[in-house]
C-alpha cells in the first residue's frame, strides 16, 4: 500500500521533531518510531483503533503521539501525527475535518 502524508501531517512531524531536538531528546528516535508505525500501518491498514467511521489511529511506543489515518483504496492517507495527551476533542475535530467524504 502507498502511504501519503497530508501537508498538515508533515507539519506535525516537523513540529514534534523540533520539540524533541530542542529539549535534548533524540529526534532520530522519534523518526525511527514513526517509521516503524508507518510500516506497520502499511502492512496492517486496519490494525489501528477506529476513532470514527473510516478514521483510525495507531499510537507510537515511547512517545505520546498517535498517527491518525484513513484507508482509501490502495492508499493510506496520514491525516495527522498528534500528541495524544492533547484534548481529545481537538484530535477528533481535526481528523474528521481532514478525512475524505
Q: What is the CATH number of the domain that holds 79?
A: 3.30.2310.20
How many structural domains comprise the chain?
1
C-beta atoms surrounding 85 within 10 Å: 8
Q: Decide if 76 contacts 1 (C-beta within 8 A).
A: yes
Q: Going residue by residue through the chain (101 aa), what tens digit of pLDDT does each one get?
A: 899 999 999 999 999 999 998 887 788 899 999 999 999 999 999 999 998 888 999 999 999 999 999 999 999 999 999 998 876 677 777 777 766 65
pLDDT at 101: 58
Q: In what order do the strands lie in the sheet with 55-59?
A: 2-5, 75-83, 65-72, 55-59, 49-52
Q: Decide if 37 contacts 67 (C-beta within 8 A).
A: yes
**Domain span at 8:** 2-98
Beta strands in 33-73 (DSSP E): 49-52, 55-59, 65-72
Amino acid at each position: 500500500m502507498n502511504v501519503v502524508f497530508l501537508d498538515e501531517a508533515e507539519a506535525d512531524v516537523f513540529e514534534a521533531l523540533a520539540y524533541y531536538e530542542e529539549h535534548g531528546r533524540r529526534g532520530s528516535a522519534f523518526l525511527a518510531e514513526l517509521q516503524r508505525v508507518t510500516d506497520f500501518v502499511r502492512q496492517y491498514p486496519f490494525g489501528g483503533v477506529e476513532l470514527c467511521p473510516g478514521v483510525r489511529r495507531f499510537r507510537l511506543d515511547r512517545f505520546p503521539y498517535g498517527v491518525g489515518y484513513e484507508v482509501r483504496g490502495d492508499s493510506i492517507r496520514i491525516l495527522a501525527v498528534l500528541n495524544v495527551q492533547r484534548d481529545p476533542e481537538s484530535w477528533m475535530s481535526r481528523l474528521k475535518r481532514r478525512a475524505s467524504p
